[in-house]
Amino acid sequence: MVKREPAGASALAAGGQAAAATAGVQLSRRRWVVLLLFSSYSLCNGFQWIQYGSINNIFARFYGVSAFAIDWLSMSYMLTYIPLLFPVAWLLDKRGLRLIALVGSALNALGAWVKLGSLKPHLFPITVLGQVICSLSQVFILGMPSRIASVWFGSREVSTACSIAVFGNQLGIATGFLVPPVLVPNVDDAEKLAYHISIMFFMTAGVATALFILVVIVFKEKPLHPPSRAQALIQSRPTQEYSYMQSILRLFRNANFVLLMLTYGLNTGCFYALSTLLNRMVIHHYPREEVNAGRIGLTIILSGMAGALISGVWLDRTKTYKQTTLAVYIMSLVGMIAYTFTLSLGHLWVVFVTAGMLGFFMTGYLPLGFEFAAELTYPESEGTSSGLLNVSAQIFGIAFTIGQGQIMDHFGTKAGNLFLCAFLLLGTIMTAFIKADLRRQQANLGNEQTKVMPEACTDPIVLEESKL
């Protein structure tokens, strides 16, 4: 008698560990509360980033400093992020989401309260200190969307969740364009101006403090059960197998990710420069239109949020990461060209239309980059990959803001915007060379097959007689 093993026995052995790891996949109801809370304190931090830049001329006159000095209040967010990314990403990997959320929301509230000590024209250094503290908070926020989406949400909703997480910061920037011109009118009396500024600062500090308290009470590290098979495999991996430095080295050896990191930096850097300098551009062509300058900024962000949501839903349905990213990049370039050549026409309604088109694609690109990176780099930490994308964005953001500002001062706003168009064209060409190596999707599909395999391999062992 000779024993013949079933054809699926080796597959069963290979898939046993994966099947065991994915057995407890289940979605948590708390996931939407966690996402909303994160988006809320991210909104508050985004508001504090642009609240000076959206009324640049008013703050420059109040503190008696140059417009470039006010620009640096926005650029401080970019500057502090670069050296602190790796320590915070390491902390995220070692200590998890809850600690990062607590520190980020606490620094956001602290910075808001410090700014209340800068309500005199000679106290500009205090407002700088408060803004730097808020910029430290941002380091604990920007790398979180893709991580929260992966840890809390299933594979069919992870891109949408990431888009909503990015929404918070974008909505905060939109609010930062809309509210400061309304709360802080362009008046000549310094005492009245200080009073209006104090109202804005008090409101911000109150909201930031309430959100910090909610984070302490509500925000949890992770759900009881993994929400996807890909996440279950990551959680089942032994701790000693993971090396943070080796992860970073693997990311830099991933050619597709490096290309994405550069193209993401070019696109988002253009967005940072445009947002920081928007007030100066609009006021140059439309004097004393601070409120409409803020509304144009609001239009850019709100249309971008719509674009991000549509892109997220589209990705969850089609998984066409490369094609969608390239299409959005091309349209960002088209939108920037349209905005460049309509800004000086003298018709504000035209600027609103072209700015909305630009925002729909340029701002809508932000969550696409996070999700594409998560696909290209799985199973590496989403916090590390998105952090590297943000470092690239901060570096290009500083360079583009300074460069475009200097070009605007010497050659006008059109030349400054054409400067950004050139780099968006470069980013579009580079995006075309990224290969769609969707590793996270392959992991989810592979484990679905693993889960089905035991049913297909349950044939009894067959015994055959052999002739002696």
> What pLDDT, on the 0 to 100 scale, is given for residue 239?
54
The mean pLDDT value of the chain amounts to 83
C-alpha–C-alpha distance, residues 156 and 440, integer Å: 12
Tell me if the bond preceding 379 is cis, omega within 30° of 0.
yes
With cut-offs at 50, 70 and 90, classify the pLDDT of residue 3. Answer: very low
172, 297 contact by CB (below 8 A)? no
219, 102 contact by CB (below 8 A)? yes
C-alpha–C-alpha distance, residues 387 and 139, integer Å: 9
Question: Is 199's pLDDT higher than 60?
Answer: yes
Region 212-230 average pLDDT: 84
Region 258-269 average pLDDT: 93
Q: What token pair was written down for 244?
A: 């943070």
Question: Is 225's pLDDT higher than 80?
Answer: no
> What pLDDT, on the 0 to 100 scale, is given for residue 241?
54
Least confident of 14-23, 101-110, 190-199, 453-462: 453-462
Which of the two residues, 307 and 44, has the higher pLDDT score?
Answer: 44
With cut-offs at 50, 70 and 90, classify the pLDDT of residue 464. Answer: very low
Region 223-251 average pLDDT: 73
Question: Is 130's pLDDT higher than 90?
Answer: yes
Among 22-26, 171-175, 464-468, the range of highest mean pLDDT: 171-175
Closest to 315 in 3D by CA, of 256, 380, 371: 371
Is 64 exposed, middle or buried, given 0-12, 13-18 or 19+ CB atoms closer than 10 A? exposed
With cut-offs at 50, 70 and 90, classify the pLDDT of residue 59. Answer: very high
C-alpha–C-alpha distance, residues 196 and 57, integer Å: 15
Which of the two residues, 18 and 73, has the higher pLDDT score?
Answer: 73
Question: Is 271's pLDDT higher than 60?
Answer: yes
Least confident of 19-23, 72-76, 96-100, 195-199: 19-23
- Using DSSP, how many helices (H) and how many strands (E) does the chain show? 19, 2
Is 8 exposed, middle or buried, given 0-12, 13-18 or 19+ CB atoms closer than 10 A? middle
> What pLDDT, on the 0 to 100 scale, is given for residue 263?
94
> What pLDDT, on the 0 to 100 scale, is given for residue 202?
95
DSSP code, position 157: T
> What pLDDT, on the 0 to 100 scale, is given for residue 233?
76
Least confident of 19-33, 145-159, 218-232, 372-386: 19-33
Q: What token pair was written down for 354?
A: 């072209």
DSSP code, position 209: H
> What pLDDT, on the 0 to 100 scale, is given for residue 439?
74
303, 328 contact by CB (below 8 A)? no
Give me Rg for the CA atoms of the chain: 25
Closest to 165 in 3D by CA, of 176, 151, 175, 179: 151
pLDDT above 90 as % of the chain: 37
